[in-house]
Amino acid sequence: MARKQSWSWLNLWTIGTVLIAAAVATPICAVIYIGLTPSDDIWAHLASTVLPLYISTTLLLMLGVGAGTLIIGVGTAWLVSTCRFPGKRMFEWALLLPIAMPAYVIAYVYTDLLEYAGPIQVLLRDAFGWTTKREYWFPEIRSLGGAISMMTLVLYPYVYLLSRAAFLEQSVCVLEASRVLGRGPWRSFFSVALPLARPAIVIGVSLALMETLNDFGTVDFFAVSTFTLGIYDVWLNMNNVAGAAQLAGLLLFFVAFLVFAERFARRKQRFHHTTSKYKALPGYDLKGWPRRLAVIGCALPILLGFAIPSIVLGGYAVTFFDAAANMDVLHHAANSVMLSSLTAFLAVAIGVFMAYGLRLRNEWIVKVMTRFASFGYAVPGSVLAVGVLISLGGLDNGIDGFMRDRYGISTGLLFSGTIAAVTFGYLVRFLALSFGSVEASLTKITPNMDGAARSLGHGPFSTLRRVHIPLIRGSALTAAVLVFVDCMKELPMTVILRPFNFHTLATYVHQFASDEQLGEASLAALAIVGFGIMPVIVLSLAITRSRPGQEEAEQPS
């Protein structure tokens, strides 16, 4: 006999989505709330002393990284997608490699190489017979310029990835039309290919800039006074949470601008392609100097951004090999893997729950809340760390107060400074990643599948388990890998939120390297890079498969 039920029982999904979104949004709201609450006039003090410096440094950093990633990313993407030269096939994926290198790791390596006592300067002094620093000029790596270079070298793959996808998606007919209408390859690039790819490029640059704002390790090590560094300074050294929150709130404005730019570009991207005829891209055959320049132009970012740092780290790892220390590294690696897998699993599970909830109940509240929950990816780790600490501290105090009033027991800090706090922080930041890819892949499944399963007697849960999950497994796994690796690399939140005496690979590397003991940290740093290569493989597989007409589609639709 049929159960008679009203549809409102399905509200489980609505309630769940709203609760998750509220939890995820709490840290950001806490920052904004505390930031707007007037407190002991730290603000005036900040504004008159360090604030102008923070703002100008941050802006210069963004400008530099933006320009650098734009030139390297778009340039290499265009070369490998439209020209033919030796090594093109290899460059296609190798150009993604630097994304595996956290900015702070590459910063430690280059400082080690380029500082006064480093091998390069020693070599120069020996060669020219200089004895003191005054006799020659050498660029100072620990500077704003140095930070810009380091971040550019590891962040350009975001721009490369997105603009390459855009170039590949462009119908060759559009380019051929331009050629037939009398424009040469160069003018076709600037008047057709580039404008068509512009939304994708904007997205790539905004992602790179979000990472720039998120960076803590590099600016800390180079002592470049950005907002992020300011937040940590005000908070940890001046012990002023309200001031830190106020700075964090201000930083959110920068982020809001980037998010707006990105969303705007994404919206424009939808209306782009007028023709769906695809052919293999023709490829301009490069000869002579252009050919050599193309090879050098593509090889240099890979060498500087990946090969040299990896070799240096590898060398150190061999030289400083120490079994006892390695046991430590293994222990920290276990911590990292545990935290990252836990977060990856939770992020995908919650992502599936929310995306399916959105599919079942396409109501405004669910829509708004899921959008709200995916805002975290843009918020710098420093801001989120402040937010998580404030909100968990509030929760702990609330529970403690309640228990003391009621039962006379002090529970103390239950969540603050625990692994749960770190995981929560990671989730807030990376949930958007998993939710986004699960949602994208769910929308590819026709709603008739749901209808078919439901009419065949399967409820929403059974339908999810037996139809949707098998169908989205691929992209759910990809999402899990991406979240996992991002957690492995994560530094700014882990540094603050980790339990006392608890290290991950990232915090361990940071601690030793900033004490100029890169040798001891090299194995751990290499491990992070090794994990970082996983998404590179996933991404490069995905991108070659994505071009229509390039390959036979192997997936049945």
- Rounded alpha-carbon distances, angstroms, from residue 146 to 16, 104, 124, 227, 518: 46, 12, 20, 17, 18
Q: Distance between CA 152 and CA 66 in Å, rounded?
A: 8
Contact 108/513 with Cβ under 8 angstroms?
Answer: yes
H/E element holding 285?
Answer: strand 284-285
Q: Which is nearer to other proteins, 164 or 359 (CB)?
A: 359
Query: Which two three-digit tokens encode residue 476?
Result: 């759910």
The interface region with other proteins, picked from 26-34, 115-123, 162-170, 449-457 by CB under 8 A, is 449-457
Q: Which is nearer to other proteins, 282 or 459 (CB)?
A: 459
470 binds other proteins (CB under 8 A): yes
Q: Determine which residue in the list 3, 134, 270, 406 makes contact with other proteins, applying CB under 8 A.
A: 3
Q: Which is nearer to other proteins, 71 or 365 (CB)?
A: 365
Helices (H) and strands (E) counted in the chain, each on its own, are: 25, 2
| Total site size for other proteins, rule CB under 8 A | 26
Q: Which is nearer to other proteins, 187 or 466 (CB)?
A: 466
362 binds other proteins (CB under 8 A): no
Q: Distance between CA 478 and CA 538 in Å, rounded?
A: 7
Contact 84/286 with Cβ under 8 angstroms?
Answer: yes
453 binds other proteins (CB under 8 A): yes
456 binds other proteins (CB under 8 A): yes
Q: Which is nearer to other proteins, 348 or 467 (CB)?
A: 467
360 binds other proteins (CB under 8 A): no
Q: Determine which residue in the list 87, 412, 459, 548 makes contact with other proteins, applying CB under 8 A.
A: 459
Q: Percent helix, strand, coil in the chain (nearest 5)?
A: 80, 0, 20
Q: Determine which residue in the list 139, 182, 288, 556 makes contact with other proteins, applying CB under 8 A.
A: 556
Residue 550 Cβ vs other proteins, minimum distance, rounded to whole Å: 20
The interface region with other proteins, picked from 18-26, 161-169, 454-462, 489-497 by CB under 8 A, is 454-462
547 binds other proteins (CB under 8 A): no
Residue 9 Cβ vs other proteins, minimum distance, rounded to whole Å: 8
458 binds other proteins (CB under 8 A): yes
Site string for other proteins, 409-448 (x = CB under 8 A): -------------------------------------x-x
Q: Distance between CA 103 and CA 121 in Å, rounded?
A: 23
Residue 84's φ and ψ, nearest 5 degrees, are -115, 125
Residue given tokens 């200089």 in the structure block:
130
Q: Determine which residue in the list 174, 471, 534, 543 makes contact with other proteins, applying CB under 8 A.
A: 471
Residue 11 Cβ vs other proteins, minimum distance, rounded to whole Å: 13
Residue given tokens 């331009």 in the structure block:
178
Four-residue CA torsion sign, 174, 176, 180, 185: positive
Four-residue CA torsion sign, 124, 129, 132, 135: negative
73-77-80-85 Cα dihedral, nearest 10 degrees: -50
Q: Distance between CA 319 and CA 134 in Å, rounded?
A: 32
6 binds other proteins (CB under 8 A): yes
Q: Determine which residue in the list 52, 451, 530, 548 makes contact with other proteins, applying CB under 8 A.
A: 451
Residue 448 Cβ vs other proteins, minimum distance, rounded to whole Å: 4
Binding site for other proteins (CB under 8 A): 2-7, 446, 448-459, 462, 466-467, 470-471, 556-557
